Structure 1
Amino acid sequence: MAELLLGNVEESVSDDEINAFLQKYGFPPYDNIQRVAGAGSRPAALLHYANVTDEVLRMLQPRVHNMFWNNRTISVQVLPVHEAD
């Protein structure tokens, strides 16, 4: 399982728009999305991928990191995998 954090995503952007944007740049479809309220002006979306490794997301990350999309410059981070104890 891997997770991708898209920072500075406008709250009005739909989940389908996020999915279409990422797929346009070669990302696989995500399995689940969680919206994260920002401290005022930087809301985010946390994407969960059940059958994708973090290595795959790290290879794709540079394609969209710091891209200007929907009137904002988005940041994209691959989060480390958390193993259950």
Structure 2
Amino acid sequence: MAELWIGNVAEDTSDDEIREFLVKYGFPPFDEIERFAGTGSRPAVVLNFHGATADALRSLHMRVHNMFWKDRTIVVQVLPERDES
């Protein structure tokens, strides 16, 4: 399982809008989404991709990193794989 962090996402952005945006740029559809309010000015989401590797996401993330989307510049990072043992 791989995880993608997207920061500075507009609060009113729906899960479907995030999915459509990423698929448009070649990402597979994510399986789960977790939202983080932060301080309120820069909300973030963490997306879980059960069928993708971190390397696969790394090959795609620069397509959208620092992109201006919905009146904000988003920051995108692939999270390190967690040891769940």
TM range (shorter): over 0.9
Give TM-score scaled by structure 2 length.
0.97
- Residue 84 of structure 1 deviates from its aligned partner by 1.9
Q: Residues of 2 paired with 1:65 and 1:84: CA distance?
A: 27
- Residue 47 of structure 1 deviates from its aligned partner by 0.1
1:1-85 mapped onto 2 (5 Å cutoff): 1-85=1-85
Deviation >2 Å, runs of 4+? none
- Identity across the alignment (%): 60
- Residue 40 of structure 1 deviates from its aligned partner by 2.5
Give unpaired runs (5+ residues) of structure 2: none
Give TM-score scaled by structure 1 length.
0.97
Deviations 1:14-43 (A, max 9, x none): 000000000000000000001111212000
Q: Residues of 2 paired with 1:4 and 1:38: CA distance?
A: 17
Q: Which amino acid aligns with 2:60?
A: L
